[in-house]
C-alpha cells in the first residue's frame, strides 16, 4: 500500500533487496570497501570525475528514457527518445496514442512493440494511481520505497529503477546493468551470475557520494578499455586489481581499435534527457 498525494494505492507487494543479507557469499568486508575506493580513485585519475548536470530530469522522463535504453546503445535510445518527444508534446498525448504509432516512433531504439506496450502500461498505471502523469512524489520516499514502487511496474527492473533514483533524484544508489556486472566480476569485486546479484552485493560498499561517479566511469571504462571482447589489457590502469583469467593473454596481444569516437565513449543518455 502506498500513500501518494493523499490517496492510498494498493498493488501486489514487491520486495526489492537493496542491501546484502548476512547469508550472501558476497558479504561486504573492509578489504572489499578499500578495493572499491581504490578503483574509484584510479578511474577518476584516468577518466576524470564526472559532474552530474545541475538540472535533473523529471523522474517519469528518466524512467521512460531508461526503458528505451534497454537492449540497445545510448545513441539509438537517445534518438528514440527525441523522436518520441517531438511526436508527442506530453505524456498524456503518448498515453492517448495507439500502441502501434508509439512503436513506429521509437523504432530506432529496437524492441519497438515491447517497449511501446510497456510505456502505455506504465503511463496508464501512473495516471490511475497518482491522478496525473508525474512521479514527483518519489522525492519524499526512501530509496527502498522508491525502488519497490518503480520495480513493481512491468518491464522495470532494479537497474532501471536505480537509474531513476540516481539521475533524477540525486540519490546514492548504484545502478548495475549487464556491463557493470561484467566489470565488477572481472575486477574481483563480486562473484555473481547476474546483474541483480551484483547490485545486492556491492550496494553497501560504494563510498558515500561516489555512486554517480563510479557508475558513469565504469560505463566509460567498459566502452573504452575493458570491452567485452578484445579488452585492452595492455593499457588498463586497473590491471593489478583485475582477476580476469585471460588478462595476461590479452595484454600480450596487439590492441585493436574499437572504432568508437571519444564522444561515443562519454555519452550517457540520462544526462541528456530534458
Give yes or no: 112 in active site. Answer: no
In whole angstroms, what is the distance from residue 241 CA to residue 256 CA? 23
Q: Which residues of 6-23 are buried (b: 16+ CB within 10 A; e: fewer)?
A: eeeeeeeeeebebebeee
What residues contact residue 162 under an 8 Å CB cut-off, 6+ apart? Answer: 147, 173, 174, 175, 176, 199
* List 56, 112, 141, 159, catalytic entry: 159
Q: Quick one: which of 183, 169, 273, 174 has its CA closest to 220?
A: 183
CA 6 centroid distance within chain? 30
For residue 90, give the 3-state DSSP assignment.
coil
Q: Strand runs (DSSP E) across 162-253, as ranges?
A: none
C-alpha cell at 103: 512503436
Which residues are designated catalytic? 159
Amino acid at each position: 500500500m502506498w500513500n501518494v498525494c493523499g490517496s492510498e494505492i494498493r498493488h501486489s507487494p514487491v520486495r526489492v533487496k537493496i542491501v546484502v543479507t548476512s547469508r550472501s557469499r558476497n558479504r561486504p568486508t573492509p578489504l572489499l570497501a578499500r578495493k572499491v575506493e581504490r578503483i574509484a580513485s584510479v578511474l577518476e585519475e584516468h577518466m576524470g570525475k564526472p559532474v552530474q548536470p545541475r538540472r535533473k530530469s523529471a523522474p517519469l522522463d528518466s524512467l521512460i528514457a531508461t526503458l528505451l535504453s534497454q537492449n540497445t546503445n545510448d545513441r539509438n535510445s537517445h534518438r528514440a527518445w527525441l523522436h518520441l518527444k517531438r511526436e508527442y508534446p506530453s505524456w498524456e498525448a503518448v498515453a492517448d496514442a495507439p500502441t502501434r504509432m508509439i512503436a513506429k516512433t521509437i523504432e530506432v531504439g529496437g524492441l519497438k512493440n515491447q517497449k511501446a506496450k510497456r510505456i502505455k502500461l506504465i503511463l496508464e498505471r501512473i495516471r490511475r494511481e497518482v491522478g496525473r502523469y508525474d512521479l514527483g512524489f518519489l522525492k519524499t520516499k526512501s530509496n527502498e520505497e522508491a525502488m519497490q514502487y518503480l520495480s513493481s511496474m512491468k518491464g522495470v527492473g532494479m537497474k532501471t529503477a536505480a537509474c531513476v533514483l540516481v539521475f533524477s533524484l540525486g540519490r546514492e544508489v548504484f545502478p548495475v546493468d549487464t556491463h557493470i556486472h561484467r566489470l565488477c566480476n572481472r575486477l574481483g569485486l563480486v562473484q555473481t551470475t547476474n546483474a541483480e546479484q551484483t547490485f545486492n552485493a556491492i550496494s553497501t560498499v560504494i563510498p558515500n557520494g561516489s555512486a554517480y561517479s563510479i557508475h558513469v566511469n565504469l560505463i566509460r571504462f567498459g566502452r573504452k578499455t575493458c570491452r567485452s571482447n578484445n579488452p585492452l589489457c595492455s593499457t588498463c590502469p586497473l590491471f593489478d586489481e583485475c582477476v580476469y583469467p585471460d588478462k595476461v593473454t590479452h595484454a600480450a596481444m596487439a590492441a585493436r581499435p574499437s572504432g568508437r569516437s571519444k564522444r561515443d565513449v562519454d555519452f550517457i543518455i540520462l544526462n541528456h534527457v530534458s
